[in-house]
A and B are shown apart, each in its own frame.
Chain A
């Protein structure tokens, strides 16, 4: 062994010398080899690596498949390798021309998969890991990588809750939900669990993505692993090659007409109002006397906020892996104007990854990735009164957007006798004049030192640093507001808020690998320390003399309550270890353990330990399987492990004293302080124990690859702010409570349908996720939200309310049916008397509410087809969900039968009389809020709709050209349509993926899913793009 080491050492000395000689024109001493690499059909293969074995002397073929290489002495062996082809070795033997034909390598399972703290042959992976390479998702014209993954991965539900550029993606792996802790997966970029989210990451920097789903794959991430882990590896150079590529696309985005909410136009609205007053037997206000006067004068406030907007993206990628230096440089510019007025998202990003091999024992590397994001997003989303899209939707269409001079109106109001009870500011002004900016500077960096003291041992230390700074600026001028019922001019308000985050992570790892007699071992051990700190300052000023100067000093008043500062900090210390063992690559075993000590955990419960084990059996390697020749690969897997979720807040364990509960005595302010929360020194992480069995199959020489997984996991010790009776003086006690059981099935299949000139592959996946609440806190068997209930024995976060039976169709129906005392009338909503007490009640434990719907789908699925024919390529990606309901929340305003707001088209078919009962959806307007309020304000099935959908996420058609000349290796142009079409029966709004949260008693984000607040619509995007390789 010692000799071998010495030899290697010597070699490393020689190589640079040789290279030096090469570059100084000592060409004559070398043999120059030229040749061409082709496939079995004789077509030249571009980009093939040609390397002298045991050296870094290598090159890559050009666009025609040709290469040339200088080989000192003309001896040695060429190693010719290319993804998807079997590697070939050819002895040089002083030949000057060597042509090589590569045979395709169908064994895609030989791929290497990035796993936690290392990588493994895909064949030998024993956990549930799915990978997506950057190539597969390169054409999707969106800002975030998570958007690109929609529909790609079994068991991962990715919803776009809002169309705001750069925002609103919800990623849930295996249906994991915490009651009140975070449920997002852990994102790890080049080994660094980042804290700022992956929104700042340019998707073009990514080489591949591994999604770790089961506990065996994730347990090495310990107390942060329960929601699953997404490992992102950024680009590196391919050995011996230098590649320069430029990619660019540009396009336009539009909100399709389909799916928009059908509202009354001005004539229809005035007609409704006229009929309303007539039905009440009241005089019709002048403005509604003659609805036809509004012919041609409709004001579509929603449409007025939308526009056709451009999107563009430019990336330059340079990679080089020559000599001892492996470098990748990615520069990107992304610019998306939103389809809502004045909305803009821009990202400027850079990444420089460098690895330098100092010697055969020492390697160092540094990745630096700065980015800058600018976005301005009008306050589009939110409940009535706060989100301008919701507000616009229900603004009276007879209110003018523009005045007679063509200027935007300031605000609109009608006399009280018209039923107008709010002032409506001009929402177009709200979009255009309010400033709501984020300027984000982000720096992600990793540095490492790798030392290989002996052949089988690698020691690696890393320092990772993430710096994040967000300068937030909000300005509400006196001329506009995003809130309903604020008269203009309003009080101008300015907010400046600065977030500054610093995260550092030090990891020290040792990996020892050994193989003997076909026993292969790898042992990993290490310890890590990570620390996070956020500093926040916020200043709010108001009452501006001049809207043009929104400085803090320009405000006449500093808002005391809005001027604050804060610090958030946490630390994590961990020990980790993993043993991987296999025999003949056929019997596979992995065990891992991690211990996390966290500042977030209570002093009595500071350390958590997270073990896992998994086994695999490559059945197809067994002799008895040789008879099943169609089945070329089969592997069975099983795993069990424990993971944690530490998203419990940084200081939740402490009893906090709020010292701003001030009092006045006379005209003197005195400081006041009170304990506002209870301490819990036992507070800890949420624990998830997960069992997984799965199999991977390859049929017909991998023409069909199939993956199946079943999982069953139990989450206990859920962090929950347990409601306590407020006779205690507190509303909640933060505790680890309860138990939720999750289980599900995941299927993924990849087929190569045709090969040859027409290549067609299909990827499809489908996932079934289920859960059931096994226990909540002692003495508590249900938690109410405003529209939801989480109840023991049921799936969590179910819609909860009354069951609509229809309307009381006539007096007899009313007389013979249970009703709301003092409120129900003929034509009003008829609800089911669930508790059988003869009357309809809403509220308390023994009323008529029951579980009425499920915001979680029965199954989610995705399908991708890729076709290529000659130089053309085509792909179509779809994703869908089935069996979930959405709460059409805006109906409480947009179907307010008192005519307070503009209404959905459906109210034209309301109940008018027993003879003219309408379509049964909307009841009578007669009786005012006492009658109509039941339909409007009481949660019932009236508001629920099936939100099953299938969306054609992307269609791309491309055309590639080969080498044009020496400089252009290849080029491709393509056109794509993103969010091409949504197939759904849902009528509540344009985006059946949406889910807005609402605050309320017992509501947490996860307990109150599936609320449609008419958020920012997801646009359809048409783009043209080009990729050029030099």
Chain B
């Protein structure tokens, strides 16, 4: 009797196949797991593609807040009917809440996190790619892109924060998650190492899929790093290599420099762009909408966007060109009307209902709040201006002027006059207006504190000129915390024992 019982048990065990560890090994069917990924070339191709993805968020939602609107080029258009706008206003007003060297500002936090997302994804690639055999060309290309992106992310972090944790290997468990802050010097050393290696690994633009990092992009990035470090000769060498490559040229009409929603992407002047794609795949941008003064009615908005389904926008508009940047254009500068447009908001609380807006990206597209304009990160005109600056700082004013004047000529202007250094600075401001260069230029040239203090005083003296409706004024703590580095994000500080 007992025997038959045992047999019954064994039978049911065997029939149901359920007594071993096989029964208990259930791996996810609808998601790949790390155990099976990173085993073939296509996996690394996908991995490097994903490493570009945070750039969309950074450039659509953050960079312009932390750099352009955090300068005298743009401001917000106060809408007193709308609250919960401190996060943006604090950036434009240099009024970040700060305690113990950290800030609770969400944009600072998200910029930081998105950069580290790029770093984690590239670290994963760089640490595993050599374990898998595949063609050297492809492997070099992927490694080069990963190194470029990692250098790019650390360069952003170094410029925003100075000291940051330096992760170069993928994190595999909780104890590895937080690292101590590395010195700015060490971070820059790594950026230079990565970018230099990327230059050797990446193909030139004409040999690379349009939109991906190229050796030209890596050279520009590294030259930018050297310029920040005032290593002018090193920068000059790299920039001249770019010019000599014949991969890039200025587009004759400044109006044609910027991509449309579906075309003119990665054009002859483009060195590196963040790629957006309009449509429902979730690869689109909507920064144009964030740059609109508000409240704006559907029939007003449609004159700019041309969509089939315009919707009104409420809230507070950001990244609105200041009177300062508008005044910075010389008379007859062809770039002014391309860069700045005007819109009348019938529902504005101001007496003057006309607002400027950033026009250089305002290209018509199909659907509301969904567009495909790429964001220019490096353009050839900046290469020329970098080169002019690097030469001039080494006392080669004559050679420098030729590159500066190429850019001016395209804008319909004559040769530069007066102090060449100032002329280059001013040229950068208008040529690259609203391309997130202004704040970094002010910082690296040591002019940030003075310039912003004066700018803040102008706003406080005449708020209505800076889009405050009559009867409203800047907050009392506006321009009370003007510093060249951002404090580190509080939410990260709360999780890290190191800061």
Contact = CB atoms under 8 A, between A and B. Distances in A.
Interface string A34-53: 00000000000000000000
Contact of B80 (A560, A670, A846, A928): A928
A123 to B, nearest CB: 32
B165 interface: yes
A812 interface: no
Contact of B24 (A571, A656, A665, A673): A571
B12 A506 contact: yes
Interface string B456-490: 00000000000000011001111010000000001
Nearest to B212: A665
Contact of B167 (A650, A728, A843): A728
B119 A779 contact: no
Given A559-B280, A664-B275, A844 B102 contact: yes
A598 B490 contact: no
A557 B490 contact: no
Contacts of A675: 34, 37, 124, 170
A930 interface: yes
A843 B312 contact: no
Contact of B476 (A571, A821, A932): A821
B43 interface: yes
Contact of A657 (B1, B37, B52): B37
A205 to B, nearest CB: 29
B12 A461 contact: yes
A779 B497 CA distance: 8
A727 B496 contact: yes
Interface string B372-384: 1000000000000
Counting chain B CB atoms within 10 Å of each CB, which of A419, A459, A527, A729 scores highest? A729
B8 A733 contact: no
Contact of B120 (A728, A779, A844): A728
Interface stretch (B133-141, B176-184, B235-243, B414-422): B176-184
A422 B311 CA distance: 12
A679 interface: yes
A453 B494 contact: no
B124 A674 contact: yes
A419 B53 contact: no
Interface string B299-315: 00000000001011011
Main secondary structure of the interface of B (DSSP, over half): loop
A32 B26 CA distance: 65
Counting chain A CB atoms within 10 Å of each CB, which of B86, B100, B478 scores highest? B86
Given A461-B12, A659-B46, A1001-B491, A730 B177 contact: yes
B50 A663 contact: yes
Contact of B50 (A459, A655, A661, A722): A661
Contacts of B244: none
Interface stretch (A562-570, A876-884, A990-998): A562-570
A282 B475 contact: no
Interface in A381-435: 415-417, 419, 421-423
B347 A561 contact: no
A936 B100 contact: no
A904 B1 CA distance: 76
A396 B117 CA distance: 43
Interface string A982-1005: 000000000000000000010000
A561 B19 CA distance: 40
Contacts of B30: 565-567
B97 interface: yes
B357 to A, nearest CB: 18
Contacts of B102: 844
B492 A726 contact: yes
Interface in B77-94: 80-86
B131 interface: no
B33 interface: yes
Interface in B447-463: none
A597 interface: yes
Given A598-B24, A936-B83, A843 B97 contact: yes
Given A417-B347, A421-B295, A674-B121, A844 B32 contact: no
Nearest to B478: A822
Contacts of A723: 495
A94 interface: no
A416 B119 CA distance: 44
A281 B347 CA distance: 19
Contact of A459 (B5, B117, B495): B5
Contact of A569 (B26, B32, B170, B283): B26
B82 A421 contact: yes
Contacts of B327: none
A599 B25 contact: yes
Counting chain B CB atoms within 10 Å of each CB, which of A491, A675, A780 scores highest? A675
B174 interface: yes
B29 interface: yes
Contacts of B171: 678, 724, 728-730
A953 to B, nearest CB: 41
Contacts of B23: 529, 531, 571, 573, 599
Interface residues of B, number: 107
Given A573-B18, A735-B174, A937-B84, A665 B37 contact: no
B31 interface: yes
Given A823-B475, A898-B81, A415 B347 contact: yes
A670 B167 CA distance: 27
Interface in B1-44: 1, 5, 8-9, 12-13, 16, 18-19, 21, 23-35, 37, 43
A371 B378 CA distance: 64
Given A421-B315, A459-B5, A846-B100, A672 B53 contact: yes
B28 A656 contact: yes
Nearest to B49: A672
A663 B295 CA distance: 33
A836 interface: no
Interface in B165-205: 165, 167, 170-174, 176-179
Contact of A725 (B27, B314, B315, B495): B495
Nearest to B44: A673
B90 to A, nearest CB: 10
B363 interface: no
B177 to A, nearest CB: 4
Contact of B477 (A527, A656, A822): A822
Contact of B312 (A487, A680, A779): A487
B341 interface: no
Contact of A508 (B9, B29, B209): B9
B395 interface: no
B172 A678 contact: yes
Given A672-B50, A823-B475, A662 B5 contact: no
B46 A510 contact: no
Contacts of A730: 120, 171, 177
Nearest to B167: A727
Contacts of B477: 821-822
Given A459-B5, A656-B31, A725-B177, A673 B280 contact: no
Contact of A724 (B29, B174, B295): B174
B26 A599 contact: yes
Nearest to A671: B46
A459 B1 CA distance: 11
Query: Closest 6 CB pairs between A and B?
Result: A729-B120, A929-B83, A672-B50, A822-B477, A665-B211, A416-B347
30 contacts: A487-B311, A565-B30, A566-B30, A567-B28, A570-B26, A597-B24, A650-B28, A654-B28, A656-B28, A657-B31, A662-B50, A663-B49, A664-B276, A667-B277, A671-B49, A672-B50, A674-B121, A723-B495, A728-B176, A729-B121, A822-B95, A841-B97, A843-B490, A929-B82, A929-B84, A930-B86, A930-B475, A932-B83, A933-B84, A936-B83
Given A665-B275, A673-B37, A726-B113, 14 more contacts: A487-B298, A567-B28, A573-B18, A650-B28, A657-B34, A664-B277, A671-B49, A673-B32, A679-B34, A724-B171, A726-B112, A727-B164, A822-B95, A929-B84
